[in-house]
Structures are given as structure tokens and as C-alpha cells.
Structure 1
């Protein structure tokens, strides 16, 4: 049963005001996602993150201000839902190939037994499971930071690169601190101060996240579905941009895509084009959201040509991968299957059989 404490004091009033502001901002973001950006996995994941964030803002209120009378199990379960929603949202945002599936909810399989143990056991057992739950959440946040940093160099969407940096240095560390401070008992003025500080920081983060979400272009959150053509925005390019973009395309067509380990910065150095401008040219002029996808399209087309060549029928697949600029066989196989729908070995077998029968390979 919810009961308000009459003598909450100025800290309690500030806590309530900040939480109310946070909830209002997140509700605005829910409306923005629902009515202005359409559908898609990133939108659904963003809705789950915002809605669970509203719950997160409410349940951490100090019992001296509003007593929600939540059990430890309920409290920790709701908190875990928010953390997992953040995990899935970041995965969907950074991975242009993201699709909903059972793998999205693997974190739940680990969180459920840990949460049950921490919330239901007493004494030493509860302390052990709480510690394991903290370690587990720390692992989730480490993965988030890795996601944010690993592909930043090849990400061509400027707004998403900005979010990668903001995410790395704000959301995971803050969320982990919140979890650590709310997992253990606190009393009196210390609890009131911690809850108000939490509310203030959460409110500021909600403002920043809300500004980023509502000002970001649709391209950031709404990605093309697999098989849809890339959407270029050539109207945003000047005549000088188009001339420079033509030089980029000709250079890559000429064989630069075969260069092992070629990065966006390396291509910019070779063509004497500043990296920030090269990112914009490829993103706006060609519709690519990721530099690796840009390179892979060229490499896979060349791979298809080589695999269909009867004179190269005995060439090992791994040799093709190395010659096409891949560091190992696994990323080549993955990129090929994503674009063609079958493995390189299957494609070669089919293409050579079609060559023998006189048909054209797909």
C-alpha cells in the first residue's frame, strides 16, 4: 500500500519533483517513438527501455517519502528488467542486422535465478546471490561498453557515434552505481541524500537522452530492413561533394577494397580526404550506415565472381577470404551468408554446376 509521509522535508520534495520530471520526459519519448518514428526493432527496444526507465525512476524513491511497500524480490526484478531492456536497446541500435529472436533474451536466463536467490534467501545465501547479481550486471555493462567502442571507427552515422561515446561514459557506470547503492540497507538522512542525488543525476540523464532522441534524425533509429535498397541523401551533397564522392567510388572500384584491414581513416589518408568528410560522403551519397558494410558489398561481389570461375574451382575458400582483404575465414563466411543467403561453399557448388549446365549463377 502506498502511503505518503507528511513531513518529507526539502530533500523528499526535491526527490519527488526530480522523479516527476524524469517520468514526464520518458513519457514524452514514448509518445515520440510511438507516433513519429513508425515501427521496427530499434523502436520496440527503445519503447521497452523508456517504459522500464519510468518504473526504475519510481521504485527507487526513498521509503521516507513514498513507501511503495515492495518486496526485495519485486524491487530487484523490476530493476533487472530495466537493465536488460537497456542491453537489448543498445544491441538493436548498434547492430544494423539485429532481429528479434530467442538470443535477445539470453540475459533473462541468467538474471532470473540470480534475482530469485537474492530476493528470497536470507543471510549469507542472500548476500552471495546479491554479489553474483552485481557481478552479472557489471558483465552486461562491460559488454555494452565493448559494443559502443568496437565498431565506432566504422560507424558512418554521426548521431549514433555520438551516442556511443555518451553511452560509454554515462549510462552503464551510473546504472551500476545505482544498483550497488540500492542493493544494501540504508537508513535516515543518508538514504534521503542518496535518493535525491540519484534522482538529480537520473533527471539530467533523462534530459540529455530526451534531447538526443527527439533531435536525432530518423535515419538513426529507423534502419532499412534486410533486402531493402539503401537510401542515399544526395540532395545534402554539394557539387564539390559529388565530385569527391565520384573519386572515392572510382578508387574503391579500382581495387582498394582488396586492401587488408582498410579502415575509414586509412581510405581517407590514401585519398587525401578528411575522415569526417569521407564518412559523410559515404553515408549521405551512397546510403551506407557502416564502413564495413560498404567494403563488404564490393568484396562479396568479387567473391561471387571468383567462386563462379571454373579456372579457380580448386582454390580454397580461406585463400579467397585472405585475398579479398579479410583477416580470417569466419568474418568472410558471415558477410557472404548475410548478403547471398548461402555459404561460399554452397554458392560455388551451385555456380559451377550452373556453368556445366550452361545456366547463369544467381
Structure 2
């Protein structure tokens, strides 16, 4: 069984090396794939750390990478499924605190021989929390995802990887300071190999167009107006948004909009994604909602109307979501925007 363990870990390291070289040679300028390269290094550290115990510096380097796996996975999920183009500050704060605690616990145990059970428990819980947060992000955005290939395959592969991280965390937490049975290590290595093969298979099926994030921002609907008249279904979508203001419905989903328009849901997803240029249904709605809010904030006739009222009229249920979306779109908060474009307000 020990030979099987070494064989499986060798196969996994070979697959990781191939993925890493492919990214560095062909896709090194893409943010999401930079994170994937980092995640590959973390997995390599996780696989080799148990084999390098007693080897001094190499063991410590492997542990440093292994402990960062959850943070890299969280950032990777945000980049691939939430279309983030840079690390989210909250994720970095979590990662910094988690890694500081993890490295402190490791240093105290190996350098001074101190065993701090509460600190170790906190590190394990933080690791589990990071993995669960990543899984939540995958599942939360699944319905709103308009990229059909990504929705069907890429989500499944990342979800499997996330659940695997959760499983490993639970097993190691239950094992505590005791030795992990050899059969568990073999199953662990087999799971990593299977996950890597599944990811590579998905990459081959999807190709670069389906796997890589969008390089450009969403296309403004006005850019497709000349072709709308030739497509009755596309015309129905634009009219529902621009003339009937369907986006004001707080409960609007891709399914309910499809039922309202009498268009098959998969067809509606394809039209909004491929013809209007949006990768996420929430981004599609935000375009219209934010445009209405910005117009009304600059209207002197509505200068005394509370910003919250305007936001809720436009379809926002949460002011936190509204403020975050508005700041991302206009690089300032709604109050500052109103003072700038509607200077007559007191």
C-alpha cells in the first residue's frame, strides 16, 4: 500500500507540473490562471510535506505552500465564478489572519515544542470556513451564471475540488495529533489525482473560450441596438428592460423573466450572454438599475427623495449590495455622486 501512495502522489505531482508549465508558458498574464498556478504549488506542497519530514528547509517550504491552499482556492473561485479581476480585500484579510495563526502554531510546535490546542482548533476551523465560503460562492452564482459551459462543467469541477478540501479538513481535524491511517492517505492521494484529471478533462472539453474569464467588460446594450430589430426575442428582452422596466422587480430571476417573455430559459441565457455581452444575470440587471438610480440622483426634481427610496424603486433589496455595485460602477458613493451632479441639493 505504501508503494501505491508514492505512485499516486507522483502522478499527482506530474499532473500539477504539467498544468503549472502550461499556465506559465501560455496564460501567465491572466489573473485567474495566476491563482490556479499558485494553487498548483499549494497542492504540491500539501502532497510533499508528509514525505519531507525531517528534511529541514524543504519541509518548511512545503508546509508554507500547503497551508495557503484554502486561501488560493477561495481567490480562484472568486476570479472564476464571480469574475473578480483582483483579490477581494476581505478575502486577503481572512487569508492574512489565517496564515499568521497557522504559521505561528506550526513554529511554536516545531521550534519550541509548545502544543496550543485552542490555536490549532482555530486554525482548523478557519481552514474549514474558507473552504465552505468558496463552495457557497460557487453555488450562489450558479443560477445567475449566463455562460452555459461554465455553468455546467466548470462549476461542477470546482465544487468537487471544494468538497474535497472540506473532506480533507474534517479527516485531519478528527485525526488530531494521531497518525492518519495509511489507507486514508492512499484514498486522499487518489482523490487528488481524480480531481486533477476531472479538471483537465473539463478544460479540454470547454476550450479556452469556455474556461477562461472574459477579457473585456460587458457590452452596453446600445451596442447591439442595430441588430435587435432582426431578432424578435432580443427585441422583447430590450423592451422589457428599457420600456417596461422589468428590472424593478426585486424578485426577478432568469427563470421568471423567461416565463414572462415566453422564451426558453436556456435560450434567454444564450441571448443575454452572447448577444448582449453579459456573463452574469445580476450584472445584466445592475446595468439597468444603476442607470436609473444615477439618472434620478442627478435630477433636481428628486433631490429631496432619500437615496434608499430611489434604490429600492430601481429593484434593490439590500442597500449594502446597492452601495457596493454603485461604487464599483461610478467609483464613488451615491451621496457623492448626487452632490456632484445635482449641486442644488442642500
TM-score range, shorter chain: 0.7 to 0.9
- 1:247 aligns with one of 236, 249, 269: 236
| Native 8 Å contact 2:31 2:86 kept in 1 | yes
Q: Which residue of 2 aligns with 1:164?
A: 155
Matched length: 329
- Asked if 1:140 corresponds to 2:164, the answer is no
- 2:258 aligns with one of 232, 250, 268: 268
| Shift in alpha-carbon separation, 1:243–1:268, aligned structure 2, 3 A | same
Q: Which residue of 1 aligns with 2:78?
A: 91
Alignment of 1:1-362 (within 5 A): 11-37=1-27, 39-61=29-51, 68-70=53-55, 76-100=63-87, 103-106=90-93, 107-121=95-109, 125-162=115-152, 163-168=154-159, 170-179=160-169, 180-181=171-172, 184-186=177-179, 190-191=181-182, 193-219=183-209, 220-224=211-215, 228=217, 230=219, 242-254=231-243, 255-353=245-343
Bigger shift: residues 257-266 or 153-162: 153-162
d(CA) in 1 for partners of 2:342, 2:278 = 32
Unaligned runs of 5+ in 2: none
How much does 1:49 deviate?
A: 0.8
| Shift in alpha-carbon separation, 1:36–1:287, aligned structure 2, 3 A | farther
| Shift in alpha-carbon separation, 1:73–1:59, aligned structure 2, 3 A | closer
| Shift in alpha-carbon separation, 1:87–1:293, aligned structure 2, 3 A | same
Alignment partner of 1:353: what SS? Answer: coil
d(CA) in 1 for partners of 2:149, 2:49 = 31
d(CA) in 1 for partners of 2:134, 2:88 = 19
| Native 8 Å contact 2:157 2:195 kept in 1 | no
| Native 8 Å contact 2:46 2:66 kept in 1 | yes
Higher relative contact order (CA 8 A, sep 6+): 1
How much does 1:221 deviate?
A: 2.4
- RMSD of equivalent CA atoms: 3.1
| Native 8 Å contact 1:115 1:129 kept in 2 | no
Give the TM-score normalised by structure 1: 0.80
| Shift in alpha-carbon separation, 1:217–1:288, aligned structure 2, 3 A | farther
| Native 8 Å contact 2:78 2:84 kept in 1 | no
| Shift in alpha-carbon separation, 1:295–1:146, aligned structure 2, 3 A | same
| Native 8 Å contact 1:268 1:278 kept in 2 | yes
Alignment partner of 2:342: what SS? Answer: helix
How much does 1:222 deviate?
A: 2.9
How much does 1:38 deviate?
A: 5.1
Bigger shift: residues 22-31 or 125-134: 125-134
d(CA) in 1 for partners of 2:207, 2:335 = 40
d(CA) in 1 for partners of 2:66, 2:308 = 46
d(CA) in 1 for partners of 2:333, 2:277 = 26
d(CA) in 2 for partners of 1:37, 1:216 = 16
d(CA) in 2 for partners of 1:241, 1:165 = 36
Give the TM-score normalised by structure 2: 0.83
